[in-house]
A and B are shown apart, each in its own frame.
Chain A
Amino acid sequence: MIRPAASRALRWWRQLQVMTVKELLQVARDTPLMLFFVFAFTVQIVMGGGRPGFELRNALLHVRDADNSAASRELASRFRPPYYVFHGAGGRPDAATRLLDRGDAMVVMDIPEGFERALAQGRPTAVQVQVDTTNSAVGLLAATYAQQIAADYATEIALARAGITAGELQSLPVIREEQRAWFNPNQDNRWFFSVGDMVMMVTLLTILLSTAALAREKERGTVEQLLVSPLSPLQILLPKVLAMTLVVVAGTMVSVFAVLGPVFSMPLQGSLPLFFTITAIYGFTSSGLGLFAATVTRNLSQAGLLAIFLFVPIILFSGIHTPDEGMPGWLHTIVLFNPMAHYIDATYSILLRGAGLDLVWDSVLAMALLGAAVFGFGVWRFRRQFE
């Protein structure tokens, strides 16, 4: 059965093609999966984008005002929505502490007797601000804002005492800080969150779908049928990766064109073809991880569990919830091997910062190398797992 090389290559392609079509058909026929898929790339991202971020919103403020003067009321009134909400006033000192203990108030402020008098006489005075910092980020913000409000009020009173009006302020040696917010001028959290959610869905679906695709074949015995046929391991595994990649690229297209643009009015700065290409490369890499999970386990439930074990650290150390910069050095090295970290980096760069390939090439290269290594291991493992 000697065939010319050209026809053998043609045959190779045809085999790859029928296998890929088979994978796509199987995904398309899986109605619950398709529903979840549509949900994940649309509703999930809309909902996730609208969730609150780590900012100070509606912190419950309890005030114990022992001075009960114009100055003390003025200070308390400066704790305004949307940052603070007035919860209540008065009560004994231990009652206020109980409010904190029970989580009924987040900030408790004590204004001592003689507060106004001290200010009027030009003496320094103090107020006590107790903050619940269980959620450290938000707690820190509540404390910082409180400090700023108190300082601003004190500055105003000091200037008034010195007889300096607002107009005369210009002639004083003060430093004004001029801020420019780039890439997300309104500091709209939804932009950051929705892109992050999309990346997470891409990761979740590629890993789980490819794991399930191979584990199911093993469980139903169809994989043996394929092993006995004249297909190479590459021809069995590559179609799965190709199909899953196509599916998630389609998903990101839906997200970008139906959610990010119209719903969140994201400007989509960079080249979309570049973004989808990079998504395809990432799809290849993370489906490779899924195949790896399926080749080292025996059945669907084991493979599913392993996929989740892989998925959690990948998400946690991707920089999506925790900034890369804050990680200790050794973790930093590990993050280099996290394909999602590179993908999220490239995605923010392209979609929000308008970067081109000249800026993201290193992420792309890292993803491609990781993908080749993982997929190569999967192909190597595939044949051996039956031994």
Chain B
Amino acid sequence: MGEAALVERVGGHGPGRPPPAEAEPARPVVRVRGFGKRYRGVPAVDGVDLEIRRGEIHGLIGPDGAGKSSLMKAIAGVLTFEAGSVEVFGVALDSEATCERVKSRLGFMPQGLGLNLYADLSVEENVDFFARLHLVPERALAERKAKLLAMTRLDRFRERPMKHLSGGMKQKLGLACTLIHEPELIVLDEPTTGVDAVSRREFWAILAELLQEKGITALVSTAYMDEAARFERASLLYSGRILAAGEPETIRRLVPGRVVALRSGDPVAAMARLKARFTQVEARGPWLNAFVAGADAAGARAAVSDALAGVPVENLNVMDPDLEDVFVALLQNRNAGGEERPAARAAAGGAPRGGIAIEALELTRDFGSFRAVDHASFRVPQGEIFGLLGANGAGKTTVIKMLTGIIRPSGGSGRVAGVEMRAAAREIKERIGYMSQAFSLYGDLTVLENIHLYAGIYGLGARATRARAEWVTGMAGLSGHEGDAAGSLPMGLRQRLALGCALVHRPQVLFLDEPTSGVDPIGRRRFWDILFALSREEGVAVLVTTHYMSEAEHCDHLALMYAGRIVADATPARMKLEVEAEAGCLLEVASGAPHRAVLALRRAGYAGAALFGTRVHVFSRDADGDLARIPPLLHSAGIEAVSVAPRRLSMEDVFVHRVSALETRDPAAPGGRP
């Protein structure tokens, strides 16, 4: 999300993008018409049309349960369906026999880290197995294996059993195994879910390079909105229907409007005013963002200023909307009015403000010889949203578990509300709330039974229980669902119910471990709204861990964890400034031939040049100079229609920069990444 008008996106008047393949082939590789799939009578996908052109990377973007996997499995010929037609390589998949005919020409990688691989086989044995399964001749196998393992940088780990690889490495191996028989089409179901940001970027780079080289067509799904830019064309999928399809830029332009970001001396009042006027308002740390539909920059600025008359406003900036803003707007348009946004306001009687709510002092935890957390120290004042950011396995969850008293630290101490958690007195436990990764609800109990259970555990009386149950159902938007089994609720509701259960006893300190995994963007935004209200209005200190880099922007303060250590501790804005000071600012290069542009830029000494879908990102120490230098440089390489613009750093850029720097310094990191 570019801040301020300095990011006047080039996309608007940028070049039209011809596909990388030279000639536009007449027939698409995949053609889906009116596709429908039901599970036990409940439609999972309903009336979907999809066309994938030869040689493109097509993205299927949508939250969990949108129907991505069903669609992909049907295209891979491993799932029967009820309605519509699926045509792959011009062959209609209407029977077992036709599916078998296309299977040798496509590769499918199912969802889940390394799920298609064999845990006890080594890297090499896995590749060999898939090759022989597809009857690849031994000589071709040796050649391709050497190449694929070199490209995925797995060649150093040939002998290592798959189960001892990191998540990112498993996915790279999965990709190598999918490509070993040189399919013409590959179908990758959420290959980057659960993979840390650095490995994710690496995965995309390898994928782009391999596909480009062999002219392979790819259908790739993702639940991360911010990965949309990776695709040449994409389809937004939501509850079994296509919301929008086309090039990411085209989709972005479907909902015209601007996002206005501002800071206010009275964020609670400003938030309330903005919400009354605009449909999409969210708090990102100290910033409040409002989406002004249909407005240009000046109009958006005027509309927001008007809405906030009388409220102190600082640093008002206008930005282009993200794809996520567009996604939410499309959904809101479709649902016409949509669900009402209940206020998270609690009954009067806030918690004490000020003071340090959470303090980690040199927290250390060893599991055998493995140090999961290494002298982690930080402080969270009352009323702050504090984010603990890091890849899977960086030690975030272990820190939370030590602070909540689930496991004991091997060294150092953690203090919550002024009391040492090692002692974990009951009185302290009554003052903290905790929500674990898995949304710890009892799926077989109803919504009300879950709330009553936790009310009982925290010793609430009958009257208090009734009052809090009412508050939780209101806050979470669960009215009408009181008698439903918690396990049958959609993810977003389940998540808010889990939050409600963690808040039933009005804790002053709230611990949230990966609270938004698998929740759609609307649900995520609503969740953050609630956290904002809790921290600002009730002074609750919130410690939240996440590996969604875009979510980190919501936090007041961040600590970045890497290999058990805290390697950065600052506000999001400050972290970005620091990276800009170290690495320079980020330039986005749009061109007619992005793949060649990357190579040309790398040759010219821009070592960090990386492909993002149709754009190339480059770090520059001398932004003005490079802005002038790059277009002629690419022109001389025969690449046309070049435009270069500065781009604001995202949290993911910050994370990748920091972690890459650490990895080069310390290659033997626990992640085992090569």
A interface with B by C-beta (< 8 Å): 1, 11, 14-15, 17-19, 22, 25-26, 29-30, 220-222, 224-231, 386-387
Contact = CB atoms under 8 A, between A and B. Distances in A.
Contact of B434 (A22, A225, A231): A225
22 contacts: A1-B427, A17-B456, A18-B453, A19-B453, A19-B456, A26-B444, A29-B445, A220-B443, A221-B437, A221-B440, A225-B434, A225-B435, A225-B436, A227-B405, A228-B405, A228-B432, A230-B429, A230-B457, A230-B458, A231-B457, A386-B407, A387-B407
Contacts of A30: 444
Nearest to A25: B445
Given A1-B427, A229-B454, A224 B442 contact: no
B457 A226 contact: yes
A1 B430 contact: yes
Q: Which 8 residue pairs of A and B lie closest in terms of their CB atoms, listed nearest first?
A: A18-B456, A221-B438, A225-B440, A228-B434, A222-B440, A230-B426, A230-B429, A29-B444
Contacts, number: 78
B441 interface: yes
A222 B494 CA distance: 14
Contacts of B458: 229-230
B442 A15 contact: no
A220 B438 contact: yes
A227 B429 CA distance: 9
Contacts of B406: 224, 227-228, 386
Contacts of A386: 406-407
Contacts of B485: 29
A386 B502 CA distance: 21
Interface string B447-474: 0010011101111000000000000000
Nearest to A16: B456
B404 interface: yes
Contact of B430 (A14, A18, A230, A387): A230
A221 B498 CA distance: 12
Which of A11, A228, A230, A231 has the most chain B CB atoms closer than 10 A to its own CB?
Answer: A228
B408 interface: yes
Interface string B567-594: 0000000000000000000000000000
Nearest to A30: B444
A229 B456 contact: no
A17 B455 CA distance: 12
Given A18-B456, A230-B429, 14 more contacts: A1-B430, A14-B456, A22-B445, A26-B442, A220-B438, A220-B443, A222-B441, A224-B406, A224-B436, A225-B434, A228-B406, A228-B429, A230-B430, A386-B406
B408 A11 contact: no
Contacts of A228: 404-406, 429, 432, 434, 511
Contacts of B437: 221
Contacts of A227: 404-406
Interface in B474-509: 485, 501-502
Contacts of A224: 401, 406, 434, 436, 440
A19 B406 CA distance: 19
A25 B445 CA distance: 7
Contacts of B436: 221, 224-225
Contact of A19 (B435, B444, B457): B457
Contacts of B449: 22, 25
A247 to B, nearest CB: 15
A1 B429 CA distance: 12
B197 to A, nearest CB: 24
Given A22-B442, A30-B444, A230 B407 contact: no
A192 B100 CA distance: 59
